[in-house]
Structure 1
């Protein structure tokens, strides 16, 4: 029983202590004089049963248990029959090492009733009750420990799974951070190059014209005025270039948020025969660009899967922005699936949702639906 752990041993020793106390009290009342042999038998029982929980090898444990059973049999024969009540627990401990059939073990625990019926009928019923209660105690304890072991293993597996998800989430966050940083660097580089190539050249030309106009201001006023006018035209062109650059930096309205989603759905409907609808509720303008990116990519994947596998004629997309949650459901009226098998598409959607602390719910009971849930607010 070593593999069961220290708590089991403590409980077993406690039960033995209760039984020994009962035997000692009952036999003390019926013995006229407490002899040295009486005390010695109790001490021998204590020593042997403590040794059971000290030895590690099954063979050594079996020897100690056999000695304990022999000591109990001798004590019950020569000192007091009540010592037989200590026998059932030792019988269970011995045969539980080698046997797995509980029915056979309980029969072995009740076997001493044959001997008791011959010389100690007064404790016959008591022994049978103690044997059955001892068996039930060990059976319940065995079941409890097995469940605790299973729960502990399940908890460890869940903990390991959480660690893996946390690691994956951190990697996704780092990837998003690096991607965002790279995009910013690329945009800054493009903007710097465009300002240098267009605006810088224009401003340099205007400055040269104004310098020349300044030198000819007194000697040739007409030429100075012409050069100054050219500088004004060049400056106006430069200002218009700045305005166009700034305008191009800002994405058009149709490329942002819900408008971009509508454009995507319209393009999808134009290419496919399936009828597609988009509805939304709540403050969709409060959603961040990265949330829109995840939602659009998951919606695109869900629509692709619907076209490949569902044989649907209608697909609906519903975006709902709540106080603390964004819910996006893509559902169709196709054939569905009783058992959903996660392929690369669904796994990809789960990973994208996890990158923003979200999750995916897939249901194939009525048609097929993919729901993306993202924390919000």
Structure 2
């Protein structure tokens, strides 16, 4: 059955037109003229076969095909035997509505040969050739149309997936931007309050002591010296407060970069029986805090997946800073997976990497490895 809205209808009408033209030309050459009944049969055949592509219901299409086959048989019996060459096309169209096995349809297209023993050898050979060629034509055409439909569906699915990833990426970027802005505001507010509470009071007290010492410098030198000493002491306390504030602003060394990763890997090894190894190469100091956050979260997800599915005994984590890329590979010696199916874990890693313009490479051929690539510079 032809599929509406596809090129199959045009190709079907084209092959019918070619065979019908052949029948008309051969009939005219053999007879020398075309009778009114012959013209009537052709017009009825054309009307019925055009109606096939107009009908929307399967029952109506089946009825029209049966009528077309009856007209073909009647015309070949009483007007021109070559009309029978149009019969295989309608057989294929009719039985593809109800049958999926192409071999049975080809057999049905060749069955009329058993009923044409009284016809000439030329008609039999021509009919068999037309039936086989029509079957191959329709079979290849349906295969081609089916592949095009599958490709269109695949493209639509990929476009939908790209749109979802783009939307998620934009949301992640907006979330990161807002989070970064909020963190900066909170830090500014904390520093402002701490400077006001600790350093501001100290500097104000020192200034008052120095003003008083200036007034008493000539009238009471001893008292002036005492106040000046108090101002010096208060200033020292203020400087110490500034040092403590700056010290508290700077996070501990174990919370930064690769040291934080080492601490995380050590904690993971302490909890689980699998052996883990962390190595790094290149200048890891150029990795930004946001990039470290993505690396650590993706590493954590990869380690969790390895513990769940790989049955590994050893997991390697290697961080390498290349000229334009940061490469983080988490690999294990587990069972691996030849065909990797992306679950929520891998999709989450892809989205995190995409938030910093990176990408994920997954390989299950030898063990299982997840490589995060992040551009820098």
Same topology, TM > 0.5: yes
Please provide the CA RMSD for this pair. 3.4
TM-score (norm 2): 0.83
CA offsets 1:31-62 (integer angstroms, 9 cap, x no match): 22333333333222222211111111122222
Q: Is 1:123 matched up with 2:110?
A: no
Task: Provide structure 1 residue ranges, at least 5 long, that are not aligned to the other structure.
Answer: none
* 2:14 maps to 1:21: no
Q: Decide whether the 8 Å contact of 1:4 with 1:145 is kept in 2.
A: no
Structure-to-structure mapping, 1:216-295, within 5 angstroms: 216-253=216-253, 255-262=255-262, 264-265=264-265, 276-295=276-295
Instruction: Note closer, same or farther for the CA distance 1:315–1:205 as it changes in structure 2 (3 Å cut).
Output: same
Q: Distance in 1 between matches of 2:272 and 2:59?
A: 76
CA contact 1:358–1:375 (8 Å) conserved in 2: no
Q: Mean Cα displacement is larger for which, 269-278 or 185-194?
A: 269-278
- CA shift in 2, pair 1:310/1:11, >3 Å: closer
CA distance in 1, matches of 2:305, 2:7: 54
Aligned length: 375
Equivalent pair of 2:165/2:351 in contact (CA under 8 Å): no
Structure 1 residue 263: deviation in Å? 5.2
Classify 1:266/1:221 alpha carbon distance in 2 versus 1 (closer, same or farther; 3 Å): same
Matching residue of 2:319: 319
C-alpha separation in 2, matches of 1:342 and 1:112: 54
Q: Which residue of 1 aligns with 2:134?
A: 134
TM-score (norm 1): 0.83
**For 1:73 and 1:308, how far apart are their aligned partners in 2?**
69
Please give the alpha-carbon distance, in whole angstroms, between the structure 2 residues aligned to 1:116 and 1:269.
83
What's 1:162 paired with? Answer: 162
Partner of 1:359: 360
CA distance, structure 1, for counterparts of residue 310 and residue 14 of structure 2: 64
Instruction: Say which is worse superposed, 94-103 or 14-23, in terms of deviation.
Output: 94-103
Report what 1:203 is aligned to: 203
Partner SS for 2:54: coil
For 1:272 and 1:131, locate their aligned partners in 2 and report how far apart those are by CA, in whole Å.
Answer: 70
Higher alpha-carbon deviation: 356-365 or 76-85: 356-365
Separation in 2 of the partners of 1:158 and 1:348? Answer: 17
> Can you give the 5+ residue segments of structure 2 that lack an aligned partner in the other structure?
none
SS of structure 1 residue aligned to 2:328: strand
For 1:318, what is the secondary structure of its paired residue?
A: strand
Tell me if the contact between 1:88 and 1:109 (Cα under 8 Å) persists in the aligned partners.
yes
Offset of residue 150 of structure 1: 3.0
- CA 139–190 in structure 1, closer or farther in 2 if over 3 Å, else same: same
Question: Structure 1 residues 312 and 11, CA, compared in 2 at 3 Å: closer, same or farther?
Answer: closer
**Corresponding residue for 2:93?**
93
**Native 8 Å contact 2:360 2:370 kept in 1:** no
Q: Secondary structure at the match of 2:279?
A: strand
Separation (CA, whole Å) in 2 of partners of 1:147 and 1:202 = 80
Q: 3-state DSSP class of the match of 1:6?
A: coil
Q: Which residue pairs with 1:107 in the alignment?
A: 107
1:349·1:360 contact (CA, 8 Å) conserved in 2?
Answer: no
- Greater CA deviation, 227-236 or 26-35? 227-236
Instruction: Find the residue that maps to 2:55 and give its secondary structure.
Output: coil
Q: Deviations over 1:5-55 (max 9, x none)?
A: 331100000101111111122222122233333333322222221111111
Residues 80-119 of structure 1: CA deviation (Å, up to 9, x unaligned): 2222111110121122223333333223222322343314
